[in-house]
Amino acid sequence: MLERFDAAPGMRVLDLATGVGAMASELLKRFPGIVLFGADLSATQLAKARRNGTRYLRANGARLPFADGTFDRVHWSWFLEHVSPDTAVNVLREVRRVLKPGGCVHFTEVDNSTFSTVPPLPKTLAALDALNQGQLRAGGDPFIGPKLEGYLKRAGFTKIDARETPMTGDARDPVYFQGFIDEFAEIFEGLDEALGAPLVDAATELRGLVSLPGGSIHYRATIAQAHK
């Protein structure tokens, strides 16, 4: 996800929708010397973030508490799926406002229609459909990835490079395979009560994929970079 990201020491970087700071930690590890801020609307998530030199603060992505031209880089992963199309454009305009002239954004977004496993897992697919429908009812978009380039254009960004990025987990890399499975299984487990669906059963089924001969998991995210 960070293959095309770059930031030099001393650059001011915003990790928006930082959550518990997982990607903030990765940014600090890969780009030592950056001045990193992590912002999220959820106080609960921020309370769990690692205090590793990141300056964490609670903020609404559509009303960021920063002056114009504050940041050299803005990063996020898995954010706009949670908001409406109009809100998405408003957030992008606000991000552009706090970005320095010539600064760059680096965003990763979902397209849940690309999820698949070999062999097909019926409980897992049913759980993902329940997740998608719940997100749509709440005003979000679990298929936003291919639309990201259009939203960036509407927000005034230039030099947009949006790429569908295939991800595959299988026995060739057992650690990555297990991590890929755990990512979706933990989402199902965390949303079981909220969605009123047997998502824990799906998580159990999905975790068993690693032991199936020839088992694999597949997904395509959209990773976009753009400049002010």
Closest CA to 149 of 131, 130, 164, 136: 164
Please name every residue paired with 15 in a beta bridge, in sequence order, or none if there are none: 38, 75
With a cut of 80, say whether residue 191 has pLDDT above it: no
Helix or strand holding residue 221 (H, E): strand 216-227
With a cut of 80, say whether residue 92 has pLDDT above it: yes
Considering Cα of 60, then 61, then 66, then 72, what sign does the dihedral take?
Answer: positive
Ranges of H-type helices in the chain: 22-30, 43-47, 85-98, 122-137, 148-154, 174-195, 199-207
pLDDT digits (tens, 9 = 90+) for 41-63: 999 989 988 778 899 999 999 99
Distance of CA 97 to the CA centre of its chain: 21
**pLDDT reported for residue 199:** 75
Average pLDDT over residues 10-34: 95
Taking residue 97's Cβ as centre, other Cβ atoms within 10 Å add up to 16
Closest CA to 127 of 218, 212, 217, 200: 200
Taking residue 60's Cβ as centre, other Cβ atoms within 10 Å add up to 12
Residue 123 structure tokens: 């409980």
pTM: 0.89
Checking phi first, is residue 53 left (phi over 0); if not, alpha (psi -120 to 50) or beta? left
Average pLDDT over residues 81-92: 94
Q: Give dist(CA 195, CA 202) in Å, integer.
A: 13
**pLDDT reported for residue 224:** 97
Q: Look-up: residue for tokens 């609670």?
A: 58
Average pLDDT over residues 28-41: 96
Checking phi first, is residue 78 left (phi over 0); if not, alpha (psi -120 to 50) or beta? left
pLDDT digits (tens, 9 = 90+) for 102-119: 999 999 999 999 999 999
